Amino acid sequence: MNNQLTVLIIVAAFLSSCKTPVAKSYDFPKPVDTSTREIDYQEKKTYSFPSSQVYFSNQFDGARLNDCTLLEEGLFKVLISPENFPINLSPYYAFKIWSDKDQRIRVKLHYEKAKHRYHPKISKDGENWSLLNQEYFSYSQDSTHAFIELGVSADTLWVAAQELQNSTHLKQWCQEKAKQSDVHLSSIGKSKLGKELWLLDIHNGSIKNKDIVVLLSRQHPPEVTGWLAMRAFVDEILRDNDLANAFRAKYRILAYPLMNPDGVDLGHWRHNAGGIDLNRDWAYYRQPENRQIADDIVQKSKTNKSHVILGLDFHSTYKDVYYTNKEPSKHLKDFEKFWLTGIHHAIDEEINERPSNVGGPVSKNWFLTQFGANGITYEIGDETPRDYIEIKGRTAAIEMMELLIYK
Ligand SMILES: [Zn+2]
């Protein structure tokens, strides 16, 4: 009997020592209920107008077009609705148009309970995009609808609020990066609708005790410009030069480029398939995306006795902003001050930093409360020129690497 008891105790002790670490819950001063809510799915179809010989379609990942009607000859109304209410007003749209004959048409973009936000981008192939010429665009005084004029033909024309960057694009990018020996690509889990949650685990040599930098993107589906900055940021970290090579030897970077693949592919304005703003779910991880990614970061740091020292979460808003924490972090003292000054000197950016106290359950606050790490929400303007985003993202990486290497 005694022997059996001893064995039981040993087994129990072994099992508890093997228990996988998970992210801690935290009561933020401004809690948010992130229990799953219902969403509306848009009907996927081609809207055909035989008399005009014009066709609209939302049959691709990342599309958003909720209804389409002919108002008068040559004028079509497109309804753009969100996945649910209440919601942040980011009226994202994306659809394809073609016509049996060459003609010019007008499209009225009608936003449900929202105002116009994104200047239209157009593409002939869904890959290469340009801004719609200003002369073909106007919007109503109350901004609830916008008019665009387009030349259509048998060749498909893509029209979207931002360049299309859906889960297929992201997967291709991840696979391309994973050709480099310091990049280890894996899927750490699945979204609510079963899409992969990709991780680029970037480092050279042993991961034991390496301090960790975390990068996040696309919690909010339409925030493509933030993603473009993260892409440039990662490219700079992966360069074959003294600085980047030394950085990957000293640090481990965990980059989660697509936190909300369901929302991105469903063409959502803000939420995941659980109808929730993921960047409010860092307290109790009620949504599978946050639960798995938060646990993955915690597990990777604990099992290798590493500190998470910095978390950068890439987003988009009306203009470029750095949201930072007022409370001090444990590891990188005054990082924001030196980093932002460095960026300012390198590219003459007029730095717009907005420090705040820990309030709601957003990632910036989570990095601080969970790890004592510096947490920064890196916001890019919706219409910030794309070539500048590239320079800015690369510069942000260079300045960070220099600070962390030579600190
Ligand atoms: Zn955002």
378 contacts 314 by C-beta, under 8 angstroms? yes
DSSP sequence for 266-317 = TT-SS--TTS--GGG-TTT--SHHHHHHHHHHHHHHHHTT--EEEEEEEEEE
Q: Name the amino acid, one letter, at 216.
A: L
91 contacts 144 by C-beta, under 8 angstroms? no
154 contacts 98 by C-beta, under 8 angstroms? yes
Catalogue the E-assigned strands of 112-218: 121-123, 129-131, 137-139, 145-152, 157-160, 183-190, 196-202, 211-217
Mean pLDDT of 95-99: 98
Mean pLDDT of 74-87: 98
On the question of pLDDT at 231 being above 70, the answer is: yes
> What's the mean per-residue pLDDT of the chain?
96
Query: Quick one: angle between helices 363-371 and 288-303, nearest 10?
Result: 30
CA of 257 to the centre of ligand 1 (A): 13
Adjacent-strand bridge partners of 314: 217, 378
CATH 2.60.40.3120 maps onto the chain at 46-160
CA of 316 to the centre of ligand 1 (A): 6
CA of 219 to the centre of ligand 1 (A): 7
Q: What percent of the chain has pLDDT over 90?
A: 95
pTM, rounded to two decimals: 0.95
CA of 178 to the centre of ligand 1 (A): 26
In this prediction, residue 4 carries a pLDDT of 74
148-182 pLDDT, tens digit per residue, is: 999 999 999 999 999 999 999 999 999 999 999 99
CA of 133 to the centre of ligand 1 (A): 27
On the question of pLDDT at 1 being above 60, the answer is: no
Adjacent-strand bridge partners of 90: none
Neighbours of 85 (CB within 10 A): 12
Look-up: residue for tokens 């020996």?
A: 181
Please tell me the CATH code under which domain 46-160 is placed. 2.60.40.3120
For residue 3, name the pLDDT band (cuts at 50, 70, 90).
confident
For residue 2, name the pLDDT band (cuts at 50, 70, 90).
low
Torsion of the alpha carbons at 298, 405, 197 and 42, rounded to the nearest 10 = 120
Neighbours of 60 (CB within 10 A): 17
Q: What is the dihedral sign for C-alpha 158, 160, 164, 166?
A: negative
Q: What percent of the chain has pLDDT over 70?
A: 97
Report which of 91, 59, 94 is spatially closest to residue 165, judged by C-alpha positions.
94
In this prediction, residue 17 carries a pLDDT of 58
In this prediction, residue 14 carries a pLDDT of 61
CA of 76 to the centre of ligand 1 (A): 31
On the question of pLDDT at 229 being above 70, the answer is: yes
Adjacent-strand bridge partners of 122: 130, 159
CA of 106 to the centre of ligand 1 (A): 31
CA of 377 to the centre of ligand 1 (A): 8
CA of 384 to the centre of ligand 1 (A): 15
In this prediction, residue 6 carries a pLDDT of 73
For residue 19, name the pLDDT band (cuts at 50, 70, 90).
confident
249-268 pLDDT, tens digit per residue, is: 999 999 999 999 999 999 99
| Paired tokens of 334 | 């005054």
* Strand-by-strand arrangement of the 137-139 sheet: 67-72, 75-80, 103-111, 145-152, 137-139
CA of 269 to the centre of ligand 1 (A): 10
CA of 171 to the centre of ligand 1 (A): 21
Report which of 187, 99, 170 is spatially closest to residue 314, judged by C-alpha positions.
170
Mean pLDDT of 334-343: 98
**What is the SS3 string spanning 3-70?**
HHHHHHHHHHHHHHHCCCCCCCCCCCCCCCCCCCCCCCCCCCCEEEECCCCEEEECCCCCCECCEEEE
Q: How far apart are the first and last CA of the chain?
A: 59
CA of 337 to the centre of ligand 1 (A): 23
Distance CA 341, CA 295 (A): 33
On the question of pLDDT at 187 being above 80, the answer is: yes
Please tell me the CATH code under which domain 167-406 is placed. 3.40.630.10
CA of 92 to the centre of ligand 1 (A): 13
In this prediction, residue 12 carries a pLDDT of 64
Adjacent-strand bridge partners of 355: 324
355-396 pLDDT, tens digit per residue, is: 999 999 999 999 999 999 999 999 999 999 999 999 999 999
303 contacts 18 by C-beta, under 8 angstroms? no
Q: What are phi and psi of 316, to 5 degrees?
A: -135, 150
CATH 3.40.630.10 maps onto the chain at 167-406
Neighbours of 178 (CB within 10 A): 15
33-68 pLDDT, tens digit per residue, is: 999 999 999 999 999 999 999 999 999 999 999 999
